[in-house]
Amino acid sequence: MRRRRSSVLRRWLVVALFAGASRVSAQSGLAVEGGLDLILPTGARAIGMGQAVAATASGAEALLWNPAGVARGPRELSGGFVSNVLFPATDLDLAFVYPIPKVMTFAVGLRYLNSGEQPSVDANGQQVGTLYPTSTTLTATFAAPFGDRFGLGINVKILQLGFSCTGSCAQSPTSQPRTGALDIGGLYDFTKDSLVSLGLAIRNIGLRLQVNDAPQADPLPGRFDAGFAVRPRLTQYPGVRLTVAGDVVTRLNGEGGPGYRLGGELSWLNQFFGRVGYVRYGTSGASGPTFGVGLARGHWRVDFAQFVSDLGAGASSKPTYLTLRYVF
């Protein structure tokens, strides 16, 4: 996505580093992938586990990471919020999951990103207006179990960008760019009680995102995720459940090194949860530990997480994630 305003470029570079190590052109300094909002991480449980959730994501959070994760989940209504991130200024998501037991699960998700005020400048670098970039992603998910161990899911996504303006914004797009993408995921449990699981997902297969004109259209941030999860039996500690997970993430275009995610979750009576993780985004240099906590009471689930990244070392606070779920 090619824009000349330095503040908007900064926003996309920050998003790229947080979301998956997008390559940057040495000549122009611009990311050569469009629609980076599609890989901006979300979900407090996933963040707390270092985003190592290709084989563990379930319910509404699976809509971003691996759509196969909704195949056996309960009915769920979820809302998420992200704060203290340099960009975007506002990050909200809603999702609803509706399973038909042993047949199919349907889910729908909506995510809204608002980057806040961005100055629009003229050829001399003088501010002549104010731009308000936004993006909206609508996701429809279809997933089904096959036997007791295998699940398959697909996401159909529509991403639309918006560029509201006050004053003069001659260099901003005059339309609202839109594109579509698909995610395909699979999840396999090696044992009936899911002690060892393998998750695979191909994300963001779709048309290039055209902001200005066709020659400048950028490919979507395609990713291939492969992950495992191990849940050892802790018979000497009744009520305690441990999950250890790891993911490898690569770009579909083959450029740049892979990223790695490691995480763990420890729960007590399936009500109290503690999570830790570590994220390494390949060649981007953005990395850091994560931690999170969760509480389940009745139908309600509350999860909180922070990403203590080196990217945000200069910020006054770290990216903070809050997710509220109602399971019924």
What are residue 3's phi and psi, to 5 degrees? -135, 155
**DSSP string covering 211-254:** SS-GGG-B----EEEEEEEE----TTSTTEEEEEEEEEEEETT-
In one letter, which amino acid is 287?
Answer: S
Could you tell me the residue range of the domain that residue 243 belongs to? Answer: 6-327
Taking CA atoms, 204 is separated from 56, 145, 201, 259, in Å, by 20, 22, 10, 17
Residue type, 101: P
Is residue 276, in this structure, part of any structural domain at all?
Answer: yes
Assess contact for 218 and 33: CB atoms under 8 A.
Answer: yes
Q: Torsions phi, psi of 215, nearest 5?
A: -60, -25
Residue 159 lies in a domain: yes
Question: Considering the domain boundaries, does residue 122 fall inside one?
Answer: yes
CA gyration radius, the chain: 20
Q: pLDDT digit string (tens) for 238-255?
A: 999 999 999 999 999 877
Give me the phi and psi of 64, to 5 degrees please.
-85, -40
Dihedral sign computed on CA atoms, order 7, 9, 11, 13: negative
Residue 310 falls inside a structural domain: yes
Asked, for residue 1, whether it belongs to a domain, the answer is: no
Kindly tell me the number of DSSP H helices and DSSP E strands found in the chain: 3, 15
Can you give the pLDDT at residue 17?
38
Q: What pLDDT is stored for residue 123 in this prediction? A: 75
Q: How many domains does the chain have?
A: 1
Residue 23 has pLDDT above 60, yes or no: no
The CATH number assigned to the domain holding 274 equals 2.40.160.60
* pTM metric for this prediction: 0.85
Residue 300 within a domain = yes
Q: What amino acid occupies position 133?
A: P
Read off the pLDDT of residues 53-71 as tens digits, 9 standing for 90 and up: 999 999 999 999 999 999 9
71 in a structural domain: yes
Of the given ranges (6-15, 27-36, 117-126), which has the lowest mean pLDDT? 6-15
Distance CA 280, CA 288 (A): 7
Q: Specify burial of residue 254 (Cβ count, 10 A radius: 0-12, 13-18, 19+).
A: exposed
138 domain residue, yes or no: yes
pLDDT greater than 80 at residue 325? yes
Between the ranges 72-86, 100-114, 165-179, where is the mean pLDDT highest? 100-114
| Residue showing tokens 């707390």 | 48
Q: What share of the chain is helix, strand, coil (3-state, %, to 5)?
A: 10, 50, 40
